[in-house]
């Protein structure tokens, strides 16, 4: 008999609508699983089971599920503001911070009837491509304890992979949805810039970051994007209208022309040959589905990286943290704050102009292609200490670049990109990344769903006790 935690959001919602189980029973089941597994994973910073039971009870009392996914559990990344629930941002400086305002995406999820089971782990202020902090510690991929879940939405991806929730809210400023999705063998999408509102208090001033969905199936990712892609008054970059992504994921795309590359854009960094082999399998699978695949040189120049770092570090330097609190920050955070403080306003303006002009040129060169295919990561999941053992923060940063040299260019360009699990190496999942031009989220989800079906990837959760 299939257990509740083995169902994706669609199947769990159908079970709830048939009244084979109550929303409160679903919360109780997931709470028991969190209690049994999460001391090993460390995916939840703050579980909110009592609040979830109260919300689920209210849904059960209506006698009618109403919204299609009413009663389905979700989790929220601990960078995302949640009224009445502490939001630590992975920092001991904010260990007791309790916002009084919900982020727009949190409100949308609640209004759709989704029941939050709590806040998921993230590195301090979401700065790293691995998840580790001084609030909870490091989050493991459920596939192998002791190997990092990736970051910065590591807690969200680990919780989904382990069946603690069927889907979760993540955010992505340089790969932070796609990196942990690859490490944890789940599906994650960074939407087009402006697709998801950062309101009411958030600001995507640099254009790099976006909230987005993480789930075990493409259809769940698409449905959650439908929930999230609703504008708020004041949005400066809103793109498109809501309500079309689930439909796109339910149908195959037309034959597409796809550009593919597996070499990082940064010199001296190489892709693990075993990961490259999974990418090559994906090329053949796409061709068998009738798509035209062309292997090209990586179109993004290495000069993007230092300019990205200007924008990344400037944002951290602008955070309202008093100087006397600096010793309480993790070394990685201090490194980015110190780098950002050295940049002038002219440096930042020049960097932003360079990122826009250079990525535009690269995408213009790809104008005859509908989508792009690369590995998500250049390396397999790594031990927690591999990211943190160096005494030199510049060396630690270089290791992160070795780990994830493909993802950030999609943030620089503002275009959609998703990670899809398509293989395994040494018992660990390998994600393949698909990207597209601005606004092509629906087409991308259609292609991802087609690949998912053809590959036959298992969506069942991983149990770290095995």
d(CA 284, CA 242): 33
Cβ(362)–Cβ(355) below 8 Å: no
Tell me the whole-structure pTM to 2 decimals: 0.98
Q: Tell whether 460 is covered by a domain.
A: no
In the three-class reduction of DSSP (H, G, I as helix; E, B as strand; rest coil), residue 117 is classed as strand
Q: Tell whether 462 is covered by a domain.
A: no
Per-residue tens of pLDDT for the chain, all 466 residues: 799 999 999 999 999 999 999 999 999 999 999 999 999 999 999 999 999 999 999 999 986 556 899 999 999 999 999 999 999 999 999 999 999 999 999 999 999 999 999 999 999 999 999 999 999 999 999 999 999 999 999 999 999 999 999 999 999 999 999 999 999 999 999 999 999 999 998 888 899 999 999 999 999 999 999 999 999 999 998 887 655 999 999 999 999 999 999 999 999 999 999 999 999 999 999 999 999 999 999 999 999 999 999 999 999 999 999 888 989 999 999 999 999 999 999 999 999 999 999 999 999 999 999 999 999 999 999 999 999 999 899 999 999 999 999 999 999 999 999 999 999 999 999 999 999 999 999 999 999 999 999 999 877 899 988 7
Distances from the Cα of 25 to the Cα of 161, 306, 321, angstroms = 21, 51, 42
Q: Tell whether 347 is covered by a domain.
A: yes
CATH number, domain containing residue 172: 3.90.1300.10
The closest alpha carbon to 380, from 146, 205, 191, belongs to 146
Q: Tell whether 252 is covered by a domain.
A: yes
pLDDT at residue 204, as a whole number: 84
Cβ(77)–Cβ(140) below 8 Å: no
* Catalytic machinery residues: 77, 152, 176
Alpha helices by DSSP H, listed for 185-330, are 218-228, 245-249, 273-288, 304-317
Alpha helices by DSSP H, listed for 143-272, are 154-161, 178-184, 218-228, 245-249
Q: Tell whether 464 is covered by a domain.
A: no
pLDDT at residue 22, as a whole number: 97
In the three-class reduction of DSSP (H, G, I as helix; E, B as strand; rest coil), residue 171 is classed as strand
Alpha helices by DSSP H, listed for 91-199, are 104-111, 154-161, 178-184
Q: Tell whether 170 is covered by a domain.
A: yes
The closest alpha carbon to 412, from 372, 346, 447, 363, belongs to 363
Q: Tell whether 330 is covered by a domain.
A: yes
Domain that holds residue 360: 4-455
Domains: count for the chain: 1
Q: Tell whether 466 is covered by a domain.
A: no
């Amino acid at each position: 008999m299939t257990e509740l935690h083995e169902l994706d959001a669609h199947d769990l919602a159908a079970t709830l609508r048939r009244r084979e189980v109550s929303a409160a029973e679903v919360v109780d089941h997931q709470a028991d699983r969190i209690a049994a597994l999460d001391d090993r994973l460390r995916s939840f910073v703050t579980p909110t089971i009592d609040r979830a039971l109260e919300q689920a009870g209210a849904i059960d009392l209506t006698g009618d599920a109403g919204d299609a996914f009413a009663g389905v559990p979700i989790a929220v990344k601990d960078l995302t503001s949640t009224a009445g629930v502490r939001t630590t941002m992975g920092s001991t400086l904010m260990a007791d911070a309790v916002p009084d305002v919900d982020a727009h995406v949190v409100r949308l999820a609640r209004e759709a009837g989704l029941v939050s089971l709590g806040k998921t782990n993230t590195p301090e202020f979401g700065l790293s491509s691995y998840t580790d902090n001084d609030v909870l510690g490091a989050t493991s991929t459920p596939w192998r304890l002791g190997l990092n879940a990736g970051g910065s939405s590591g807690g969200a991806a680990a919780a989904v992979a382990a069946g603690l929730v069927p889907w979760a809210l993540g955010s992505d400023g340089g790969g932070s949805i796609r990196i942990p999705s690859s490490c944890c063998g789940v599906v994650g999408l960074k939407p087009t810039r402006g697709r998801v509102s950062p309101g009411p208090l958030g600001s995507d001033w640099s254009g790099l970051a976006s909230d987005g969905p993480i789930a075990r199936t493409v259809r769940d990712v698409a449905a959650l994007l439908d929930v999230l892609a609703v504008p708020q008054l004041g949005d400066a970059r809103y793109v498109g209208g809501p309500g079309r992504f689930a439909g796109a994921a339910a149908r195959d795309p037309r034959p597409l022309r796809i550009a593919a590359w597996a070499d990082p854009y940064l010199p001296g960094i190489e892709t693990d040959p075993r990961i490259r082999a999974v990418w090559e399998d994906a090329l053949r699978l796409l061709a068998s589905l009738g798509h035209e695949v062309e292997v090209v040189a990586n179109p993004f120049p290495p000069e993007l990286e230092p300019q990205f770092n200007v924008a990344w570090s400037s944002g951290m330097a602008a955070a309202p943290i008093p100087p006397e609190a600096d010793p309480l920050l993790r070394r990685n955070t201090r490194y980015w704050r110190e780098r950002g403080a050295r940049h002038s306003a002219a440096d930042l303006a020049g960097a932003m102009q360079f990122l826009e002009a250079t990525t535009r040129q690269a995408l213009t060169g790809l104008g005859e292609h509908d989508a792009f295919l690369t590995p998500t990561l250049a390396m397999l999941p790594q031990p927690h200490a591999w990211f943190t053992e160096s005494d030199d923060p510049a060396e630690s940063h270089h290791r992160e670049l070795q780990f994830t040299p493909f993802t950030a260019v999609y943030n620089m360009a503002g275009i959609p990109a998703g990670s899809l699990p398509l293989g395994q190496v040494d018992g660990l999942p390998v994600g393949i990344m698909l990207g597209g031009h601005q606004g092509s989220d629906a087409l991308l989800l259609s292609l991802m769903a087609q690949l998912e079906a053809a590959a036959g990837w298992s969506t069942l959760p991983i149990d770290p006790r095995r």
